[in-house]
Amino acid sequence: MSQNIYIAKQPILNDKNEIFGYELLFRALDQNGKLEALFQDELLATAKVLVNALNHFGMTSLVEDNLAFINIDQEFLLDPIVFSIPKERFVLEILESTIVNEKTIARIKKLKEFGYKFALDDAHCNNNFIETFTPIFPYLDILKLDVSLIKENTVQKHLESFKKFDFKLLAEKVETKEDYELYKSFGCTLFQGYFFAKPDIVVKKSIDPAYKRIFQLMNMLDSEYIEIHEIVEELESEVELTIQLLRFINSSFMGLKKDVKSVQHVITMLGKKPLKQWLLLIAFSKSMASESSINKNPIIELALTRSKIMSELAKNLSHNSHEASFVGVLSLVDTLLQVPISTVLNEINVDIDVQNALLKREGNLGKLLELVLAIEKFDMIKTDAMLDELNLTNIQLSAILQKSYAKA
């Protein structure tokens, strides 16, 4: 099902007025069509932001090579779902409502050892706040000072004690030039607030995978009796998830050296555990969605059918069936997302042969796609010509189509 996905982002600048990162905030339409932060549940809002950023927008298109800041409450921090967040791309903002105890400190310390970055949100410099959060100061990368909550003399009182920790000071909710100059004099090197920019709402067309199927895939990943090729086959039949998975792997692995050739290739690179964590994140973000609201999309069904036909054709020709299936899935992504396919391919790393098949109808994969398109259009002259070029008979094609339609 095609839908509009919204996210708000507010820039964070350094003391040279250069972009350091963006804070990402969840937004959705209320009943009156107004964009609001609808979720009272911080954990669910965080999961939604992550899914939207990683799967629907893609991190490169959303924040380029900059860091993304997201709020995490205590429940999210202590949930295993936190490990699904790509540590290279995000700064985790600990909320001021977090209860600092042995369990919280241990989790922050463990994540820090794994390479995660932390900021403490909405810090105000009264003695009680400082005393409460000092135990986690050694693990912070950034302390966000809330300008609206702080008196000038209280900041100065604690500046010297801050110096013994290895975190940067960020002034947030900066609304005037006077605020900016004052907090810059206090040693703040990062700034955020309406003085620079209000949160910018960005929107993207995306598709939403069926909730039930996510859990079926997670169960398969948990089973010791199910082989990788069975998981690949199952995921290949999920067009929406395949597209989101491509965006996710491009968002998470900044140094990805190999272009993606197939779903099997993605799973091999990612591994079972990260794939399950990714599915868990999507499942949680959809926990308030009703399955009854998810309808069959004929475009998705057509993409799935193309995928199955191309896979069977490739098997008959001793070509790579997973790559052929992959091309079939992606061949309608422009129609699904209502954006040019070249734009989508710029966001996800795919193999050059896959690109050439989709954009130019070149190579073995391009010929298979051209044949499938001719069949869909009932163009028998083109179909016969392509069958001759591929050394296939009409009898073989009939058997392939029958088998493919049954699978789809």
The closest of 403, 333, 402, 316 to 367, measured between CA atoms, is 316
| Per-residue confidence (pLDDT) for residue 172, from 0 to 100 | 94
Residue 316 CB neighbour total at 10 angstroms:
15
Higher pLDDT among residues 277 and 266, named by residue? 266
Does the pTM surpass 0.75? The reply is no
Q: Residue 123: how many CA atoms within 13 Å on its side-chain side?
A: 26
Strands 168-172, 28-29: parallel, antiparallel or unpaired by DSSP?
unpaired
CATH of 2-203, one of 3.40.50.150, 3.20.20.450, 3.40.50.620, 3.40.220.10: 3.20.20.450
Superfamily of domain 209-407: Hypothetical protein af1432 (1.10.3210.10)
Residue 403's pLDDT is 86
**Given this model, what pLDDT does residue 138 score?**
96
Instruction: Convert the pLDDT of each residue in 42-89 to its tens digit.
Output: 667 787 788 888 877 888 888 888 999 999 989 889 988 888 888 999
State what percent of residues in the chain have pLDDT above 70: 86
pLDDT in tens, 353-397: 999 999 999 999 999 999 999 998 888 999 999 999 999 998 999
Identical fold between 2-203 and 209-407 = no
- Tokens encoding 27: 């937004």
User: Are the beta carbons of 357 and 310 closer than 8 angstroms?
Assistant: no
- Helices 228-236 & 211-222 angle (0-180, nearest 10): 170
Q: Compute the 3-state secondary structure of the chain and give helix, strand, coil in percent, each to the nearest 5.
A: 55, 15, 30
Decide if 243 contacts 2 (C-beta within 8 A).
no
Contact indicator for 108, 98 with CB cutoff of 8 Å: no
pLDDT digits (tens, 9 = 90+) for 201-212: 777 766 666 656
Pick 370 or 125 by higher pLDDT.
370
Q: Which residues share a beta bridge with 65?
A: none
Query: How far is Cα 324 from Cα 262, in angstroms, rounded to an integer?
Result: 8
Q: For residue 293, what pLDDT is reported? A: 41
Which pLDDT tens digit goes with each residue over 3-21? Answer: 677 788 999 999 888 999 9
Separation CA 334–CA 330 (nearest Å): 8
CB burial readout 372-395, b (16+ within 10 A) else e: bbbbeeeeeeebeebbeebebeee
Extract the tokens encoding 35: 């964009």
Where on the phi/psi map is residue 14: left (φ > 0), alpha (ψ -120 to 50), or beta?
Answer: beta
Share of the chain above pLDDT 90, in %: 36
3-class SS at 202?
Answer: strand
* pLDDT at residue 290 in the model: 43
Alpha-carbon distance of 400 to 2, in angstroms, equals 30
Residues 6+ apart with CB under 8 A from 222: 276
Question: In the chain, what are the domain boundaries?
Answer: 2-203, 209-407
11 CB-near residues (< 8 Å, 6+ apart) = 19, 21, 22, 192, 196, 197
Residues 6+ apart with CB under 8 A from 110: none
Q: 288 pLDDT band (50/70/90 cuts)?
A: very low
- As a whole number of angstroms, the distance between CA 259 and CA 239 comes to 19
DSSP conformation class of 12:
E
| Residue 289 pLDDT | 45
Of 13-27, 104-118, 153-167, least confident by mean pLDDT is 153-167
Burial zone of 54 (CB within 10 Å; 0-12 exposed, 13-18 middle, 19+ buried): buried
User: What is the SS3 assignment for 362?
Assistant: coil
C-alpha–C-alpha distance, residues 15 and 180, integer Å = 10
What average pLDDT does the structure give for the chain?
Answer: 83
The answer on pLDDT for 248 being more than 50 is yes
Q: Which tokens go with 259?
A: 């272009």
Q: What burial class does residue 3 get, using C-beta atoms within 10 Å of its C-beta: 0-12 exposed, 13-18 middle, 19+ buried?
A: exposed
Q: What is the pLDDT of residue 392?
A: 92
Q: Which residue has the higher pLDDT, 346 or 244?
A: 244
C-alpha 387: how far from its chain's center?
A: 40
Higher-pLDDT residue of 217, 106: 106
pLDDT value of residue 206: 67
Quote the pLDDT of residue 292: 40
